[in-house]
């Protein structure tokens, strides 16, 4: 197995990531053909469960995107299951301490680097018998979410945990934690200063910084700022924007 996202990061290229909230293999199949580098199934705030995650992976697989998952929480059972299903990356919400970051690495990797149980029921099909286990520890991306004041307080310790490949910022929860309105595409000076700090500290350690964005224009701005993984809304949000614009245009309104 080879991880396209990891290869792009090594080449210092930004990854444009899709986001799936809809539990449908068909919509995942169509979405995967839109030019994304990777597509993430959202099991935290999306309407996804484990079976729909597997179905989305099956829809995506023929189209060359790297499949990833945002798991619901830092919990070993679901992390192991999504990896067994074929996820090449795990994005985990609300990682606030180095101890939690170490636990995330442990849950995501096979011995001796971790405590993941062996049984890659679907992921193992990506190579001949036994080969998946030989490369999984090196190819699976482990990405904690930084989205609270507590995580910022512990940032350097979190980033220093061996096995962390990148971080992913949740702007809504980050703003919420700082007493602001929860939203994407933030422009507050204090948030931009945090982003610059995160970019500086990740670059220093040779790991990637990712961010969830509301619009393509803002995502492009963040790529230019230095982010190496940018997500644009999700398929529901993009569908709503396109549908609203179509209705307005059909009615001859601006």
The catalytic residues are 45
Which residues make Cβ contacts (< 8 Å) with residue 63, sequence separation at least 6? 29, 32, 33
Report how far residue 81's alpha carbon sits from residue 87's, in angstroms, rounded to the nearest whole number. Answer: 9
Looking from the CA of 125 toward its CB, the CA atoms found within 13 Å total 9
Report how far residue 66's alpha carbon sits from residue 32's, in angstroms, rounded to the nearest whole number. Answer: 9
Let me know: does 223 contact 229? Beta carbons within 8 Å. no
Report how far residue 53's alpha carbon sits from residue 50's, in angstroms, rounded to the nearest whole number. Answer: 5
For 80-110, letters b (16+ CB in 10 Å) and e give: bbbbbbbbbbbbbbbbbbbebbbbbbbbbbb
């Amino acid at each position: 197995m080879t991880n396209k996202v990891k290869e792009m990061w090594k080449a210092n290229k930004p990854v444009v990531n899709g986001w799936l909230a809809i539990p449908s293999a068909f919509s995942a199949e169509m979405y995967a053909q839109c030019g994304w580098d990777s597509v993430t199934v959202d099991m935290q705030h999306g309407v996804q469960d484990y079976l729909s995650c597997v179905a989305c992976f099956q829809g995506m697989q023929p189209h060359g995107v790297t499949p990833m998952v945002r798991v619901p929480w830092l919990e070993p059972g679901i992390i192991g299951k999504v990896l067994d299903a074929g996820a090449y990356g795990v994005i985990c919400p609300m990682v606030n301490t180095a101890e939690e970051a170490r636990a995330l690495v442990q849950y995501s990797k096979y011995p001796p680097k971790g405590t993941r149980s062996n049984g890659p029921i679907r992921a193992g099909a990506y190579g001949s018998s036994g080969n998946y286990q030989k490369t999984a520890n090196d190819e699976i991306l482990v990405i904690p979410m930084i989205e609270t004041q507590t995580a910022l307080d512990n940032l350097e310790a979190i980033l220093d945990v061996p096995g962390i490949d990148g971080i992913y910022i949740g702007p809504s929860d980050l703003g919420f934690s700082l007493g602001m309105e929860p939203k994407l595409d933030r422009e507050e000076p204090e948030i931009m200063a945090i982003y610059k700090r995160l970019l500086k500290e990740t670059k220093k350690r040779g790991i990637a910084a990712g961010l969830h964005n509301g619009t393509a224009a803002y995502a492009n701005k963040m790529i230019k700022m230095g982010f190496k993984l940018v997500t644009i809304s999700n398929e529901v949000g993009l569908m709503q924007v396109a549908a609203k614009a179509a209705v307005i245009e059909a009615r001859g309104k601006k």
